[in-house]
Chains A and B, each alone.
Chain A
């Protein structure tokens, strides 16, 4: 089976799982406990926060809060700060941001504003800035879009937003960027969401990076873990596994990035142009390629590819729902419904091999041509 849906989730880093098994069977204590065994875990968690943070941010300016997933991190940021005036985001957000914004709008809490996208999936920065004014309390811009791979220059956008309104809190969903793109957070970014399972970690572990001086309201109240910012007993095993998996990712991050760029090129060039149109831009993340078999339906190709041993995604969560069949993000890029209906999302990981890419090209071409013949 060739697995090319790594933007959905990745295979957990096996070395990291083995090396941290002791946190399941030996060091299973509650880190908040007062005896030595518990207390020791507290200091290991502290090291873990600092390690995970140091890959992308300056420890003097930022701190790390463990959460259960990227969605939780996004929700805590949004519901914590988008409380008055207006809040601005983009049409290219993951549902974990888009839906809370819609919810806040429906509840009448804030005037939620959505900035349009450029054809390649990046936000139109000029139009985004035009939506920011003196009443803007919160801005959220996705770092790497999960469907198109489009990369937004969040450091630059954060600076421009702050220039327009220094009191605005700036958040970014970095779930598809952390551990994949080389970058450091600028200090204008206030909040940044991360998820473990997209880079060899386990499902159930996430992180919210926040600027140190920012008073983040707690979303879950209880035992006061994570400095009172996020109560709930820490997933020690998941966290420790995440640290090791991340270490591995960052040690080869640049090499992987370049290798996958070559794969992406090979992949997009290898696809039959009579069947597939590449939607992802050249500057997009090499980890995600969005293509459309215009006139065919992506989901059918997904099933056909599946039957032939290749797992890909369609990019939109509700593709089977007739009403929401077309991806909101693809339509926001300016594509028509026919294009949106034919979308396939192919996403790589550092484990992807060139053989797999070649085989996937062959199979996708074969099933695409076949389906086209069957349907016309």
Chain B
């Protein structure tokens, strides 16, 4: 029996005159997700149909469609001829043999002889006559058999609604540059912005040889997971080894992290402008570590001149972030025990409320422009 997949939008229907723009991006993202699988995508009013695919790729398609933002729900449906006998034959396989149920019908083809209510009544009656442990409950059924009469003499029958990723189609909300570490938070932050339709590219700072190759591999893996939600991404890596060594040599140890972060933000903004990204994204959460106090954020934010810094996790508890990380599939990688930022230079007691005046004084000891230039020379780009 032929199967099709019905895809329903999430928030897209809210859009008025821009709808065409959103739909175009949405379609492109679905096509991209299903790349390599033979199929056809048809647009219908209020939904999409995926047709003409092989039965054995359905599981793979479900996995991939679950990651496409903009999809509210989707269903695998049987396609059959639009007559009650054929519909009943299919409904028997879709319908469970016990429990409470109802039939919900939709008559797209008004030429069909029965009305929606009549279809439901007729089909419900036939199902009850073959499955004796079924009961009807139209208000709170444990499952629903859906019948959809389409134009062209075909009907779709299905029961299950698979939850989609929701959100907005990636590509409809500009481009952002995510500062990605190897930790739990930043991948979640990237996911959340992608969910709102943003194209997310990633920037990672490493301190080889103080950190190892495995730590970098880990970030590649995390960025790959983000790429699976955001229709691909690019990962840029930059070495901050030299910067750390200079800070270590010349500045007060308790300001190491604050000073380093200011370099990271400067590099990130310049690179973001270079790749036409419109914002920086970080995984910062208020008060989580010494550098993520409001004072810490102020000091690092103050070097960013032109772009907004988005912090989608700023009000989240660690546990909430962990839950999301598990859900999107980055947690297991994030907790691999490789150090992502050089702990060799970590002070015993980092400054919790760094004062901008002190920071500026320490920073004057460094050749900021020269160090940034050296850092940019180490940049590598990985397409994911």
A residues neighboring B (CB under 8 Å): 297, 299-300, 303-304, 307, 318, 320-323, 374-376
Chain A residue, CB-CB nearest to B215: A320
Query: B248 contacts A303, CB within 8 Å?
Result: no
Query: A320 contacts B212, CB within 8 Å?
Result: yes
Query: A375 contacts B248, CB within 8 Å?
Result: yes
Given known A-B contacts A374-B245, A375-B248, A322 and B210 have beta carbons under 8 A apart: no
Query: B208 contacts A322, CB within 8 Å?
Result: no
Query: B344 contacts A320, CB within 8 Å?
Result: no
Query: B210 contacts A320, CB within 8 Å?
Result: no
Neighbouring A residues of B344 by C-beta, 8 Å = 297, 300, 375
Query: B339 contacts A320, CB within 8 Å?
Result: yes
Would you call B343 an interface residue if the criterion is a C-beta within 8 Å of the partner chain's C-beta atoms? yes
Q: How far is the CA of A307 from the CA of B249 in the complex (A)?
A: 24
Query: B212 contacts A299, CB within 8 Å?
Result: yes
Q: Nearest chain B CB to A298's CB is how many angstroms away?
A: 11
Given known A-B contacts A375-B245, A375-B248, A375-B344, A322 and B337 have beta carbons under 8 A apart: yes
Q: How far is the CA of A318 from the CA of B338 in the complex (A)?
A: 10
Neighbouring A residues of B212 by C-beta, 8 Å = 299, 303, 320
Would you call B214 an interface residue if the criterion is a C-beta within 8 Å of the partner chain's C-beta atoms? yes
Neighbouring A residues of B343 by C-beta, 8 Å = 322
Q: How far is the CA of A279 from the CA of B101 in the complex (A)?
A: 75
Query: A323 contacts B245, CB within 8 Å?
Result: no
Q: How far is the CA of A280 from the CA of B363 in the complex (A)?
A: 44
Q: Which of B326-375 contact A (CB under 8 A)?
A: 337-339, 343-344
B residues neighboring A (CB under 8 Å): 208-210, 212, 214-215, 245, 248-249, 337-339, 343-344
Neighbouring B residues of A320 by C-beta, 8 Å = 212, 214-215, 337-339
Q: How far is the CA of A376 from the CA of B343 in the complex (A)?
A: 15
Neighbouring B residues of A323 by C-beta, 8 Å = 337
Given known A-B contacts A300-B344, A303-B209, A321 and B337 have beta carbons under 8 A apart: yes
Q: Nearest chain B CB to A289's CB is how many angstroms away?
A: 22
Query: A303 contacts B338, CB within 8 Å?
Result: no
Q: Nearest chain B CB to A307's CB is how many angstroms away?
A: 7
Q: How far is the CA of A13 from the CA of B338 in the complex (A)?
A: 34
Q: Nearest chain A CB to B329's CB is how many angstroms away?
A: 23
Can you list 17 residue pairs at the A/B interface with Cβ under 8 Å? A297-B344, A300-B209, A300-B210, A303-B209, A304-B209, A307-B209, A318-B337, A320-B212, A320-B215, A320-B339, A321-B337, A322-B337, A322-B343, A374-B245, A375-B245, A375-B248, A376-B249
Neighbouring B residues of A322 by C-beta, 8 Å = 337, 339, 343
Neighbouring B residues of A297 by C-beta, 8 Å = 210, 344
Chain A residue, CB-CB nearest to B212: A320
Chain B residue, CB-CB nearest to A322: B339
Q: How far is the CA of A68 from the CA of B210 in the complex (A)?
A: 36
Neighbouring A residues of B338 by C-beta, 8 Å = 320-321
Q: Nearest chain A CB to B79's CB is how many angstroms away?
A: 50
Q: How far is the CA of A322 from the CA of B337 in the complex (A)?
A: 7
Q: How far is the CA of A318 from the CA of B214 in the complex (A)?
A: 12
Neighbouring A residues of B245 by C-beta, 8 Å = 374-375
Chain A residue, CB-CB nearest to B245: A374
Neighbouring B residues of A375 by C-beta, 8 Å = 245, 248, 344
Given A297-B210, A320-B337, 12 other A-B residues pairs in contact with their CB atoms under 8 A: A303-B208, A304-B209, A318-B337, A320-B212, A320-B214, A320-B215, A321-B338, A322-B343, A323-B337, A375-B248, A375-B344, A376-B249
Q: How far is the CA of A374 from the CA of B249 in the complex (A)?
A: 8
Q: How far is the CA of A204 from the CA of B222 in the complex (A)?
A: 32
Neighbouring A residues of B214 by C-beta, 8 Å = 320
Residue with the greatest number of chain A CB neighbours at <10 A, chosen from B210, B249, B338: B210
Q: Nearest chain A CB to B101's CB is how many angstroms away?
A: 50
The 9 closest A-B pairs by CB, nearest first: A303-B209, A321-B337, A300-B209, A374-B245, A320-B338, A304-B209, A300-B210, A320-B212, A297-B344
Q: How far is the CA of A20 from the CA of B229 in the complex (A)?
A: 50
Q: Nearest chain A CB to B80's CB is how many angstroms away?
A: 51
Q: How far is the CA of A7 from the CA of B240 in the complex (A)?
A: 33
Residue with the greatest number of chain A CB neighbours at <10 A, chosen from B208, B209, B248, B337: B209
Q: How far is the CA of A320 from the CA of B342 in the complex (A)?
A: 11
Q: How far is the CA of A304 from the CA of B209 in the complex (A)?
A: 6
Q: Nearest chain A CB to B207's CB is how many angstroms away?
A: 9
Q: How far is the CA of A323 from the CA of B335 in the complex (A)?
A: 13
Q: How far is the CA of A304 from the CA of B211 in the complex (A)?
A: 11
Q: How far is the CA of A187 from the CA of B338 in the complex (A)?
A: 45
Q: How far is the CA of A155 from the CA of B208 in the complex (A)?
A: 46
Q: Nearest chain A CB to B181's CB is how many angstroms away?
A: 14
Neighbouring B residues of A318 by C-beta, 8 Å = 337
Q: Nearest chain B CB to A235's CB is how many angstroms away?
A: 30
Q: Nearest chain A CB to B133's CB is how many angstroms away?
A: 46
Neighbouring A residues of B248 by C-beta, 8 Å = 375
Chain A residue, CB-CB nearest to B339: A322
Q: How far is the CA of A320 from the CA of B344 in the complex (A)?
A: 12
Q: How far is the CA of A304 from the CA of B210 in the complex (A)?
A: 9
Q: How far is the CA of A113 from the CA of B273 in the complex (A)?
A: 62
Neighbouring B residues of A321 by C-beta, 8 Å = 337-338
Q: Nearest chain B CB to A343's CB is how many angstroms away?
A: 15
Chain A residue, CB-CB nearest to B344: A297
Q: How far is the CA of A300 from the CA of B338 in the complex (A)?
A: 13
Q: How far is the CA of A29 from the CA of B338 in the complex (A)?
A: 44
Q: How far is the CA of A307 from the CA of B210 in the complex (A)?
A: 13
Neighbouring B residues of A376 by C-beta, 8 Å = 249
Neighbouring A residues of B208 by C-beta, 8 Å = 303
Q: How far is the CA of A299 from the CA of B209 in the complex (A)?
A: 8
Chain B residue, CB-CB nearest to A367: B209
Chain B residue, CB-CB nearest to A319: B212
Q: How far is the CA of A101 from the CA of B338 in the complex (A)?
A: 27
Neighbouring A residues of B249 by C-beta, 8 Å = 376
Chain B residue, CB-CB nearest to A376: B249
Q: Nearest chain B CB to A344's CB is how many angstroms away?
A: 13
